[in-house]
Amino acid sequence: MLTELGYCLLLAVALLGPGPRARAMKGVKCGGVLSAPSGNFSSPNFPRPYPYNTECSWLIVVAEGSSVLLTFHAFDLEYHDTCGFDFLEIYNGAAAEPGNLLGRFCGQVPPPPFTSSWHVLSVIFHSDKHVASRGFSAGYQKDVCGGVLTGLSGVLTSPEYPNNYPNNVECHWVIRATGPATVKLVFVDFQVEDSDECAYDYVAVLGAPGPVHRHRYCGSSRPPTLVSLGHELQVIFKSDFNIGGRGFKAYYFSGECQEVYTAVRGNFSSPNYPSSYPNNIRCHWTIRLPPGYRVKMFFLDLELEEPNSLTKTCDFDHLAAFDGASEQAPLLGSWCGRHLPPPVTSSRSHLLLRLHTDRSTTRRGFSVAYLGVVPMNVSCSRTDFQILISTQALAPLGQTQVYLGSRRCAAQEVGGTFRIQARFDTCGTESQRRNNTSVIVSVLYIAFSAAGQDDTQEYEVRCEPRRKEASVHLLSGSHWLGPYAAAAEPLQEAPPRDEVEAAEVPMAMVAQDTSDIVFLGLCILAGVLMVIAIVVLMLL
């Protein structure tokens, strides 16, 4: 109890202490900390007109692990198109930051019910020096199911989770994104009474494509990740009079806190960037490219909360990348603080970036750019290059052109593979010295054409003829790659084994490296001629 009381006092000081919002009129009972499991509060003098120039802050704090349901019994504030005069603001958490704002309201239409994504909710009432109305009356409860969720992200659970849910309950949640954005729902735990067509206990999700059993889910298999068709998802949980289960836990992401990118290249950043990101959010950005691509991601800026000073690990705010489309995929890396990580490359055509922030300390956030790169197999002899690229990587784009140095050296399509065989004295190759080593260099061009827009990727191919060692590097010369704009970034030099098998060319079609055989033959011929010459001279 002392711990909870101390926590409440700290939150109250943070919210109600001196600052731009602490301008409540003296002598008016206004604001406070509400820590009971349920209760009611209202504007000063309600139901009589509220006073002018008043600002009140209420901090609702319930037991940790619970949520708060806020409902309004009456509502009448001065109306304005943007609620710029008298207004009521509702925040998801203790900090009155733009990223935590659930809504600003005025007029005579009461706000919808709101459910917090954690155990703290803030309500701020403001009136100016003109026009006063009756005000508002509201009530709150903890651990009730249902409501309207409008935050950037949050957690959704069945009643009393992870304990068994009660019988005869029915919960309705509306998850609403601001603007034209979509909503994503990811289930991380699921155990609901199983039955044919989920006739008894079930979770129903409306507003997303393709759920089974008439939009219902039950049993112990987690539902798939669901993305809304519009800007809203409805989630309904229902239990009957007997047999229960652990219930469910799900994360939701909305607005700029979740995006799916399918373009070959792009860039994005944390919410509010370059201003501070919100507290207590969990965001997903998924990059989905056509089969055969790899995703290469460049970090243009990074400033998150510093690592734990004791463990030196990213225990607080952190950014993580996964080698696939879900958090179950292998981890590519996890970062925090201000150190700019090197680029990362996926081993498949999907990559997921997740941002997790806690309840305190925010920073500028991050900005990243990504590029779909094409895995290829490059080899060389002492006289020529050979480049193999699976057509699977390029076919979905249509009208794709692949050439080395100039369009005269275009690739040939052989057995499901784009193939370029080019001698060093053709196709724009040139000899250079790098690190005191003689290398042969050329540029491979892959020209993507879509909707009348040209987007050409450039790859530098190198060969060290003496060792017959080849390599390929992505030439990232675009301004949108920031500090990487003029760098040659190393690239995976070969596709995975299954794609190599798909890209193999029939043996009869593959040019063999005969340079060593020719060189040896010339040496033998020269030796034979020398012996003949010596013999002739002796005979003379």
One-letter amino acid of 415: G
HEC string for 317-366: CEEEEECCCCCCCCEEEEECCCCCCCCEECCCCEEEEEEECCCCCCCCEE
CATH superfamily of the 147-255 domain: Spermadhesin, CUB domain (2.60.120.290)
How far is residue 404's CA from residue 387's CA, in Å, rounded to a whole number?
Answer: 9
Rounded to a whole number of angstroms, the CA Rg of the chain reads: 32
217: closest CA among 240, 243, 247?
247
- Strands 202-206, 216-217: pairing is antiparallel
Query: pLDDT tens digits for the chain (540 residues)?
Result: 444 444 444 444 444 443 333 333 444 678 899 999 899 999 999 999 999 999 999 999 987 767 788 999 999 999 998 899 999 999 888 766 666 788 899 999 888 888 887 788 999 999 999 888 999 999 998 866 777 887 788 888 898 888 899 888 888 888 888 777 889 999 999 999 999 889 899 999 998 775 444 588 999 999 998 888 888 899 999 999 888 899 999 999 888 888 889 888 889 999 889 988 888 888 999 999 887 788 999 999 999 999 998 888 999 999 999 999 999 899 999 999 999 999 999 988 999 999 999 877 889 999 999 988 888 899 999 899 999 988 877 765 544 578 999 888 988 888 888 899 999 989 989 998 888 888 999 999 988 765 556 677 888 999 999 888 998 888 754 555 665 554 444 444 443 344 333 333 332 223 334 445 555 666 677 777 888 878 777 776
32-143: CATH number = 2.60.120.290
Question: Which residue, chain included where needed, has tokens 């309705």?
Answer: 172
Question: Which residue, chain included where needed, has tokens 């699921």?
Answer: 190
DSSP state of 119: S
Instruction: Say what the pTM is.
Output: 0.66
The per-type count for the chain, helices as H runs and strands as E runs, is 4, 37
262-373: CATH number = 2.60.120.290
Question: Which residue, chain included where needed, has tokens 């909503």?
Answer: 183
> 390, 366 in Cβ contact below 8 A?
no
How far is residue 53's CA from residue 22's CA, in Å, rounded to a whole number?
Answer: 11
**Long-range Cβ contact pairs of 461-466 (< 8 A, separation 24 or more):** 461/378, 461/385, 461/387, 461/404, 463/380, 463/385, 463/424, 463/439, 464/437, 464/438, 464/439, 464/440, 465/380, 465/381, 465/382, 465/383, 465/424, 465/438, 465/440, 466/382, 466/438
Cα distances (Å, whole numbers) of residue 347 to 175, 324, 332: 34, 8, 10
How far is residue 223's CA from residue 235's CA, in Å, rounded to a whole number?
Answer: 12
* CA 75 to chain CA mean position, Å: 38
> 71, 142 in Cβ contact below 8 A?
no
For residue 455, count other CB atoms closer than 10 A to its CB. Answer: 14
> 300, 365 in Cβ contact below 8 A?
no
Task: Tell me the CA end-to-end span of the chain in Å, nearest whole number.
Answer: 118
Say yes or no: do domains 32-143 and 147-255 share a fold: yes
Residues 271-282, buried b or exposed e (16+ Cβ, 10 A)? bbbeebbbbbbb
> Which pLDDT belongs to residue 28?
65
- Classified by CATH at the fold level, domain 376-480 comes out as Immunoglobulin-like (2.60.40)
CA-based torsion, 310, 314, 315, 316: positive or negative: positive
Phi then psi dihedrals of residue 77, to 5 deg = -120, 155
Per-domain boundaries in the chain: 32-143, 147-255, 262-373, 376-480
**Long-range Cβ contact pairs of 504-512 (< 8 A, separation 24 or more):** 504/415, 504/417, 505/388, 505/414, 505/415, 505/417, 505/419, 506/414, 506/415, 509/414, 509/415, 509/419, 510/386, 511/384, 511/386, 511/421
Contacts of 519 (CB under 8 A, 6+ apart): none
